[in-house]
Structure 1
Amino acid sequence: MDSHADYKFMGWMGLDETAGEGKMVWQEFKPKTWEETDVDIQITHSGICGSDLHVLRSGWGPTPYPCCVGHEIVGRAVRVGTQVEGGIKVGDRVGVGAQGDSCLGRGQDSCEECSSGNEHFCAKHVGTYASFHLNGDKSYGGHALYNRSPGHFVFKIPDSISSASAAVMLCAGITTYSPLKHFGCGPGKRVGVIGLGGLGHFVVMWAKALGADSVVAISRKESKRQDALEMGADNYISTDDHPRWDTEFAGSFDLLISTISSSKAPIAGYLALLRRDGTLAQVGNPDDGLFLVPSTGIIIGRKRLVGSMIGSPGEIREMLQLAAEKDVKPWVEERPMKDANQAMVDMERGKARYRYVLVNENDA
């Protein structure tokens, strides 16, 4: 451990592919070697993301076990390196999202993406967990007591946003805010979200905050209609109750955000919902990473099928400011950090309404 630290880095560790089944183990781990560009955070809140489950079971490729997941981290800065920028100081409430490092600030090797404010597309992108920093050390996530991250990817949390809300914004929030902003959500636009879950419910709230003319939630079951309307949706489409939904609502949207993670998704039907020159942005990522896309679905109507991943540090700061100004409040259920294994199981079973956040009880 670092000789300057009087605290231990301990967290829930996945040791093999069964970890997501409620078999994580609480144990000590060694964080990345301290650099003066780093910030140590005493974690108070750590959101559970669908990515946690994918990685714990090696769904997106082999996971470098042992692995501590969690990339929606909020807590207090307890150590700040002398080269950290952005005005962060010890005692500040700060957060870390899904990116833990990039080539930015590493000598003369900063790439075009980092230089243009698109750090999340850096070829040397480092995930907050299950990845390796540019110094070769493994990255560990937030289902833990402490986290160490490069200061460039540590963000001050506005006072008006609760820690639980801020946590889930740092991955689920930015994953949905970024494509909405990039693809022109705003006044005059008709926006839809496919899937009303941890990601999808953010789309409803961000689209309303950005001033979209109408926002519609699309999900299989009628059971989520009232939730969607309470979140601010103008309408709700239950596809189970509309067998011909793809023709009944054809040409209804300028922009669709698909949050579902299934390679069996009816992409042709979703494309049919778009107006001419409409955009379908895919943010959900299935384990097999495959989608079948009919060529006529994009050729007819000059439609676009695009992808999007998280967002840049600049976008995250912009998103947090919008959340503070518009009083955006995601639907969050807090769970004790000690119950992380059961919370993971419940997440996998679809019980979250709509996001779980683990809380270190002494800091709640």
Structure 2
Amino acid sequence: MEQHCGKGFVGTYNGLYREHNYWSMGGYADYTRVAAHFAVKIPERVKSADAAPMMCGGITVYAPLKNNDAGPGKKVGIVGLGGLGHFGVLFAKALGCEKVVAISRRRNKAKDAETLGADDFIATNEDEKWEKKHSRSLDLIISTVSSPDMPLSGYLRLLRTNGTFIQVGAPEGDLPPIAAFALIAKGCKVGGSQIGSPKDIEEMLQFAAAKAIKPWIQQRPMREANQGVVDFEEGKARYRYVLVNEDKEQSQL
């Protein structure tokens, strides 16, 4: 459970190695050096471009799905259909969940959700009385959204008895208040999850290889990195940009 280390979290990008006063360089570096324990083999059946977004976005949703027993007989909701959320739908479906529901503000991604494997779609800004219509229908909800402006009370209403709501997106502001009775009445649990351990990542990659899971990615040359950030913020990515270091590729030919 290294990702929850009480001594501090050192990310692969912009993370401080305190003992050496050194900052990790992240995805723009040509090479990285880590302790062998943190090096995970990528299966041959998983292309590097597909594995890249799994190392952060993929494991962020895979870990809470597995840790909360997502699988046959379970009905799972994924809030937000973006870089994280589309992984959530892919993994939940591959895990054999009885029903996978994509939850978003609008219906503009409903077709994408269906193609990814979602069995149903809820548009919270467009579907009338969605909380009532889908009340007590889900065992587990994974929320990937990064805005604190969310209908949290409505999400909790979707949970069945002993249901669980897990937040993995990281809003800068506080989450909306929760009425105690929303938890007490159904015995619901609210929690969070942060990426995953090297063991979790290795398991996820093996699972992706076995189930032939392919994320929706768009490869872009490293020289477009700045524009890629702008386009990503504007919601143009479907659903992850993967930067390709063309200079490095040429030198290896």
- TM-score by length of structure 1 reads 0.66
The secondary structure found in structure 2 opposite 1:338 is: helix
Long gaps (5+) in structure 2 = none
Q: CA deviation at 1:239?
A: 2.0
Q: Deviations over 1:38-69 (max 9, x none)?
A: xxxxxxxxxxxxxxxxxxxxxxxxxxxxxxxx
Name the SS for the 2:27 alignment partner. coil
Local SS of the residue matching 1:344: helix
How much has 1:146 moved relative to structure 2?
2.5
Q: Report the counterpart of residue 77 of structure 1 in structure 2.
A: none
Q: Which residue of 2 aligns with 1:316?
A: 201
**How far apart, in 1, do the equivalents of 2:2 and 2:45 lie?**
27
Partner of 1:179: 64
Deviation at 1:305, TM superposition (A): 0.7
* Matches of 1:166 and 1:338, distance apart in 2: 21
CA distance in 1, matches of 2:59, 2:230: 24
- Tell me the CA shift for residue 240 of structure 1: 2.6
Distance, in Å, in 2 between the alignment partners of 1:180 and 1:251 is: 19
Aligned to 2:44: 159
Counterpart among 136, 150, 161 of residue 35 in structure 2: 150
SS in structure 1 of the partner of residue 101 of structure 2: strand
CA distance in 2, matches of 1:340, 1:289: 30
Residue 244 of structure 1: CA displacement?
1.2
Q: Distance in 2 between matches of 1:150 and 1:181?
A: 26
Give distance in 2, aligned partners of 1:293 and 1:270. Answer: 11
- Deviation of 1:294 (Å): 2.0
More helix by share: 2
Q: Secondary structure at the match of 1:216?
A: strand
How is 1:218-237 mapped onto 2 (pairs within 5 angstroms)?
A: 218-237=103-122
Q: What does residue 63 of structure 1 align with? A: none
Residues of 2 paired with 1:313 and 1:229: CA distance? 31
Letter in structure 1 aligned against 2:93: K
> Does 317-326 or 214-223 show the bigger shift?
214-223
What is the TM-score with the length of structure 2 in the denominator?
Answer: 0.94
Aligned with 1:206: secondary structure? Answer: helix
Aligned residue in 1 for 2:13: 129
How far apart in 1 are the matches of 2:213 and 2:185?
A: 37
Match of 1:305 in 2: 190
Displacement over 4 Å in runs of 4+: none
Q: Of the two, which has the highest radius of gyration?
A: 1
Q: SS state of the match for residue 314, structure 1? A: helix
User: 1:120: which partner in 2?
Assistant: 3
Within 1, Cα distance between the matches of 2:120 and 2:237? 22
Per the alignment, residue 95 of structure 2 pairs with 210
Letter in 1 for 2:111: Q
The residue type paired with residue 235 of structure 2 is G
**What is the aligned partner in structure 2 of residue 45 from structure 1?**
none
CA distance in 2, matches of 1:350, 1:212: 28
Give the aligned partner of residue 243 of structure 1.
128
Cα displacement (A) at 1:194: 0.7
Rounded to whole Å, the distance in 2 between the matches of 1:144 and 1:349 is 25
Q: 1:207, 1:302 → 2: CA distance?
A: 23
Match of 2:222 in 1: 337
1:205/1:291 Cα in 2 relative to 1: closer, same or farther (>3 Å)? same
Q: Which amino acid aligns with 1:132?
A: L
RMSD: 1.3
Aligned equivalent of 1:99: none
CA deviations 1:116-149 (Å, max 9, x no partner) are xx11111233111222114332221112323233
Query: What is the aligned partner in structure 2 of residue 288 from structure 1?
Result: 173
The share of aligned pairs that are identical, in percent, is 51
Q: In structure 2, do the counterparts of structure 1 residues 157 and 289 end up closer, same or farther at CA, with 3 Å as the change threshold?
A: farther
SS of the residue corresponding to residue 172 of structure 1 reads: helix
